[in-house]
Structure 1
Amino acid sequence: MLDHILIVDESRLVREALAKILLSCGVRKNAIACIETAEDAIEYAQFSTISLLICSENLTSKNSFNFRDELVETSNIKQLPLMVLSHQIDEENLEKNQHIKSALSNSICLFPPFKKQQVIEALFALTQDTIFTNQPHPDSDTLSKPVTDKKPVLLEQKPTILVVDDESSNIDVAAGNLRDLYRVMAAKSGEHALKIVANNTHNIRLILLDIMMPKMDGYQVCRSLKDNEVSASIPVIFLSAKALVEDIKYGFDLGAVDYITKPLNGDLLRARVATHIRLQQQKLDLSAQVATLKENAKLREDIEKITHHDLKAPLNNILFETYRLADKKAAKSINRAVNNVVNMVNNSLNVYKIEQGIYTLMPQATNLKLLINDAINAVATISHDKKLHFALNGFDTEHAIMAEPLLCLSIFNNLIKNAVEASPANQTITIELTHNNNDISFKLTNLGIIAKHLRSTLFEKYSSSNHSTGTGLGTYSAKLMTQVQHGEISFNIIDEQQTQFIVTLPAA
């Protein structure tokens, strides 16, 4: 009886054509197994007793007869009829074929073109099964290897699915519905399934798991899979005739992603498997993106640190040289400006930490007037060239804020520098400080307005990067630094002629 005919060939077209010939002779569909690789065939032989092997001559580095012997040993059978499909025909192959026929029993070799009747006659000669007699002789039907060596579907491109069931017929049904789209492996016991997964060489993407199995049932297998770090992320779909709500719920509680009742419906099985393969792929893609983001964040931090080191070296040299200046007032001013620059370089890394939510705020009572004066001095050259005047209101009163001086200096430097660059020449920039309840407000007003298309996104990252100068990070970083200090920042457009920025920070 031909209960398990195994067709092993890398070409899907060849496998399908051979299966079609067998079906036309009356062979049952569930008796035919089509497999791409020798490795899969060995796995198949572990749970099925093969009665006929049809395979390509170049399937493995060994010859077809050694491969057959391995299957015989795996299946624990006495003998296995073998049909070998050769790739080309020449005199040397013909002589070799005649030698093989005479030296080895239960084997036959076919050469292209593989006509249907030739295949049927060879099958009868090999098996003596009457099912292959009294067949029509259509000379036009041939089974040929593809002209190109390119495989229709590369093995590594197919997700691997493991079917676990103690009944071979159930495995055949599941594999028959899935094999065209996936690489299907099988195990006839829970122990064998865990061994395959633990081996970790097949990249199992999904497991179809029967519940009712001897010794170790599907629930126990699922629990073992989820307890193992190597297999915990592999989706498990239970296959069972048990359809009670408590059975299904228990399966989900163990970590299964789906539950399909028997008898299996092919369309439903393919749809469910495709959905979970797609979801798992999306999960893998997301994990890869997260890993990439973490690597990029680490790279960014490393580059920031290197940049800081390279910038601070020449600035420290300037600081050292200021002590040689005879004009001590100028030396003190330069020293203060350079120190501010060094500290602001350090602040660029703080912006990154604020973005990531990992910045540790250390506020202190800070003289607001002193910070603003430093920021005005930083743009003294530009404002002098443009003949701009600063009108300071509310500076006759001391204003102390509870904040970090360097963060605030960066905020005011950005806003005042932007105001100086945007203001027309020979104009006045007004800075006003007011004390309201528990907050101190800083108001900066200048002629010149923000373009309408930038207003709604002004505080977003890179929103103004289309300007001729700047990176588009000034107002963005000012917003981050204000908010992390429990303050608020906003702007107003006055009569479409002036821009006013308002920064509110906690009073000390």
Structure 2
Amino acid sequence: MSIFGKPNEPSIGQGVRCLVVDDFEPMRKVTINQLRQLGVEHIQSAKNGAEALRTLKNHPFDVVLSDWNMPVMSGIELLQAMRADEKLFAIPFILITAEAERRKVEEAIAYGISSMLLKPYTSNKLAIRLENALAWKPRKPGCMAPGQFLDDGVDTSVPRASRAAQPVAPPEDARLTILIVDDTQDNLLLLSHLFKGEYRVRLAQTGAKALELATSDNPPDLVLLDVMMPHMDGFEVAKAMRQHPNAQAVPIIFVTAMVSADARLKGLDLGAVDYITKPIDPETLKLRVRNFMRYVQLRRDLQAEYDSMVEGAQLREDVERITRHDLKAPLAGVLGLVQAIVEDDSIGRRQVEQLRLVEESVMQVLNMVNLSSELYKIETGRFVLRAAPVRIGELLRRIAEMDRVTFAEKGLSISVDTDVPVGAEMPAALGDVTLCYSAFQNLLKNACEAAPASSKISVRLFDESPLRIVIRNSGAVPMAIRDRFFDKFVTLGKPSGTGLGTYSAKLLIEAQQGSIGLSVSDDSNTTEVSVLLPRETDLG
């Protein structure tokens, strides 16, 4: 059973807490009224993203409904801030907008919207998106160490489509709707017969009835409106419609016997898209109506397209989560078994070398699994660092040992040294072990690939605050790419190079509040990459 009940009688369960964010006060009030009609009792509002963020940090909410374009802090900026906050990242977020540019919609989806609602919208449309948003399940923020797999409280063996509440089914007759308003019965019959084969037709013989239908939860897609009617004329109906969010964007075509220029100007000034005088030419009227209905259908198609884009992104996220969940546990088991065998003194040197190759391969796969999500979250501002001590010296030695095996045919000499006195405790970085492993693996691999055969590569750890790690290799970075060394897809002289190694290393280091730099010496023909990382003693 849907939490909203019947399609035409939406009712959301009590206890849902909503935050409405919009800089336009009338729109805030209308949205709040619509939510109350759905049974939502706990509602607060904010006039921009900054105010909303302060409210979110002081009060619990189950869902946020936010306009896109706002001063001070836009809806997208609010979404980014929430997805980067460990306490707020899981709150469903409905973005309300009149935007129709696909690139911007894709950007919003990348930042993690739960649902999207195109203006103008009705209470029923809001109910459907609200239900879907409340069924939305985010990925947990932060990083995962090798062997640690995701557990967000969701059964990952069940696809999202099966877990999420199903949208309210659309009515059987999904045709666009025309409301015909005229106080003369014969005119109503004439126009209804003209359009009933192509559109759903609703009739109103008074201005009051027309306004009631136009501002309902299911407003028409187009209104054909007579002007001269008793009690409430067409101009009054149009003015009232333009003041109501459910009807303010509904196209109006005046169909009237008033032929004066002043009447035409008044009608257009009230927001009519056309002004047709009687007696009408049926074929001309049908063409004009069809033209405006194309626009209405476009908006409807856009909403359906954006719904599909959001759902597709969420399903892809589920597939990635299931894949990581299913892959990481057995890989971590293999890694632990290999490392245990390597420590066995009865194993020969040749076997140890082979096991190290297995270990390296497993670590590389784990690295790719982890980075598939972490880099994406870093790039889109959704990453949350959970800093912990990282024994950086041990990590560097492990990477160097594996690279010696990998690049054995080049005859490289790879050393890892530190200025820590013998017997003293090795310093620890304050960061994430997975991100550190990935970053230094990429940097050292890059150095090994660039270094000439039989040359030396040195890795030095300096006991400073912050910790400083310097990787030095023979071979100067070509002048053509020095200024873009850490940019995405920049590579030169490597047939199989992707240009992502140093780029990802820079992102991973900076995500841990560190920094990275390049130093090249043409005189000595050497390249140095220096990394600074917070150390454990910097905690607090």
- Normalised to the residue count of structure 2, the TM-score between the two structures is 0.47
Question: Which of the pair has the greater relative contact order for Cα pairs under 8 Å at 6+ separation?
Answer: 2
What TM-score, normalized by structure 1, do the two folds share?
Answer: 0.50
